[in-house]
């Protein structure tokens, strides 16, 4: 189980004693071998307790309906940073940064409402022309008949441009946003630059310094429709800058939320099409399927692997007794493949009847605030891709990151024949 490199995951998933299965192992996601483990858990033990796993003891919630239950009972299943927050990793208390995703109602509601107007329908209409203009520019600059990294040249570039617009962040420094986003979510054991919580904080302090400067600049002038102006003038958040760690928490939430997830859907969507040639052909024959393909991509990719809650009281899920203080992990990657809730879940189908019935955005009060913006960016990307490039070829398996939280693709070699 700890070294799935040399084992057949299908065999290992069924040979490992049930109580030894540890779906928190980030290698499962890096090597894309997690499916049979969840398939077994959904069948044999859908609410599964792993004692002393790689990330401590925790409950795994693997079925769509049970995940929905946890999502819609925030009064029991808390997101509070002080209890452990929203990821399976239990960070030492001094490194826990609060933000509205890691708060419960009513404070969560107050802070979220300050920023949510930026992604309201009317504002999305305003943003769509700039998104399209940039998407066209990026696509027109891509090389032909030459292998290049789609992640670097398309996914990162487009999402980081979007992010700099949302924050009104200096566009020439936009790759800093990507860097901070990656540092904020990096697993300290992944072998990257963030090898300790201290190192992470050291890097994120640079982000805090830059954004504190922007805050004071925006607070001094009225209005403004960027996220920093909204926070600086919002009733519930206007003093946020005086609590630097909570300001940083909210910044990293907005940077990661607005960046990483859409980036990986941009990469994972192309990979899915290349790996399902019949669906790719369906898209070529009928680009009008893009609006239903986009949510299917988001389901298929499941850009966030899990969200975590902590039980604030004794409770029960599907007959299992959950104790106060227990760590409860909702595995979106599993719920999105649950045959009891999704028809033919292991097939990538770009014209599903109800494609938005997936867990990738979460549900309940913490449902992704930017979900329609993400869909808009992906829709425009695919509309413009199909106008230009009827065929893009995947030259190698996508390289995935070591993480049990962000379902990340770090590199994807492609080629546009032409």
Partner 1 sequence: MPTVTYIEYNGTEHRIEVPVGKTVMQGAIDNNVPGIDADCGGECACATCHVYVDAAWLDKTGLPAPGSQEASMLSFAAVTQPDSRLSCQITVTPDLDGLVVRMPEGQH
Q: Which of 21, 101, 119, 273 binds partner 1 (CB under 8 A)?
A: 119
Stretch that binds partner 1, among 105-113, 132-140, 224-232, 396-404 (CB under 8 A): 105-113
- Minimal distance, residue 357 CB to partner 1, in Å: 6
- Minimal distance, residue 65 CB to partner 1, in Å: 9
Residue 372 sits in the site that holds partner 1 (CB under 8 A): yes
Tokens for 7, please give them: 């084992």
State the Cα–Cα distance between residues 309 and 265, nearest whole angstrom. 24
Residue 296 sits in the site that holds partner 1 (CB under 8 A): no
For residue 59, give the H/E element and its range. Answer: strand 56-61
> At which residue do the structure tokens 């009928």 appear?
286
Closest CA to 74 of 109, 44, 41: 109
- How many chain residues are in contact with partner 1, going by CB under 8 A? 25
State the Cα–Cα distance between residues 104 and 84, nearest whole angstrom. 12
**Eight-state DSSP code of residue 304:** B
Residue 124 sits in the site that holds partner 1 (CB under 8 A): yes
Which C-beta is closer to partner 1: that of 136 or that of 365? 365
> At which residue do the structure tokens 């890096």 appear?
30
320 three-class SS? strand
Residue 80 sits in the site that holds partner 1 (CB under 8 A): no
Residue 344 sits in the site that holds partner 1 (CB under 8 A): no
Residue 146 sits in the site that holds partner 1 (CB under 8 A): no
Residue 235 sits in the site that holds partner 1 (CB under 8 A): no
Cβ atoms of 262 and 374 closer than 8 Å: yes
Q: Which of 48, 112, 174, 299 binds partner 1 (CB under 8 A)?
A: 112
- Minimal distance, residue 119 CB to partner 1, in Å: 7
Q: Which of 364, 387, 417, 418 binds partner 1 (CB under 8 A)?
A: 364
Phi-psi region of 62 (alpha: psi -120 to 50; beta: other; left: phi over 0): alpha
DSSP string, 371-417: HHHHHHHHHHHHHHHHHH-S--EE-SPPEE-S-SSB--EEE-EEE--
Residue 107 sits in the site that holds partner 1 (CB under 8 A): no
Residues at the site binding partner 1, with contacts judged by CB under 8 A: 68, 71-72, 105, 109, 112-113, 116-117, 119-122, 124, 354, 356-357, 361, 363-365, 367, 369, 371-372
């Amino acid at each position: 189980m700890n070294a799935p490199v040399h084992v057949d995951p299908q065999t290992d998933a069924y040979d490992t004693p049930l109580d030894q299965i540890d779906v928190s192992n980030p290698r499962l996601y890096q090597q894309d071998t997690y499916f049979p483990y969840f398939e077994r858990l959904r069948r044999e033990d859908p609410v599964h307790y792993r004692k002393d796993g790689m990330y401590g003891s925790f409950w795994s919630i693997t079925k769509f309906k049970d995940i929905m239950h946890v999502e819609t009972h925030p009064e029991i299943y808390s997101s509070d940073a002080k209890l452990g927050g929203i990821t399976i990793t239990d960070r030492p208390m001094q490194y826990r940064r609060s933000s509205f995703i890691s708060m419960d109602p009513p404070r969560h509601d107050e802070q979220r409402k300050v920023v949510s107007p930026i992604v309201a329908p009317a504002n999305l209409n305003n943003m769509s022309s700039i998104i399209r203009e940039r998407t066209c520019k990026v696509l027109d600059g891509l090389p032909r008949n030459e292998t290049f990294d789609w992640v670097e040249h398309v996914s990162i570039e487009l999402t980081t441009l979007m992010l700099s617009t949302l924050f009104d962040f200096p566009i020439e420094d936009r790759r800093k946003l990507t860097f901070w986003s990656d540092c904020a979510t990096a697993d300290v054991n992944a072998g990257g630059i963030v090898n300790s919580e201290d190192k992470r904080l050291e890097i994120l302090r640079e982000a805090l310094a830059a954004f504190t400067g922007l805050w004071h600049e925006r607070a001094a002038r009225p209005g403004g429709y960027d996220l920093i102006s909204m926070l600086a003038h919002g009733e519930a958040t206007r003093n946020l800058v005086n609590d630097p760690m909570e300001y940083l928490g909210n910044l990293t939430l907005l940077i990661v939320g607005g960046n990483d997830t859409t980036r990986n859907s941009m990469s994972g969507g192309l990979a899915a099409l290349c790996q399902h040639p019949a669906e790719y052909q369906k898209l070529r024959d009928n680009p009008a399927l893009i609006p239903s393909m986009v949510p299917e991509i988001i389901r298929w990719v499941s850009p966030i692997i899990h969200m975590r809650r902590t039980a604030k009281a004794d409770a029960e899920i599907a007959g299992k007794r959950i104790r106060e203080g227990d760590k409860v992990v909702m595995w979106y990657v599993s719920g999105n493949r649950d045959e009891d809730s999704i028809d033919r879940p292991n097939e990538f189908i770009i014209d599903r009847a109800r494609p938005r019935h997936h867990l990738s955005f979460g549900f309940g009060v913490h449902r992704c605030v930017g979900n329609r913006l993400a869909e808009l960016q992906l829709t425009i990307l695919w509309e413009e891709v199909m106008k230009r490039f009827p065929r893009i070829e995947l030259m190698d398996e996508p390289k995935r990151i070591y993480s049990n939280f962000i379902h990340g693709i770090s590199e994807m070699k492609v080629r546009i024949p032409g």
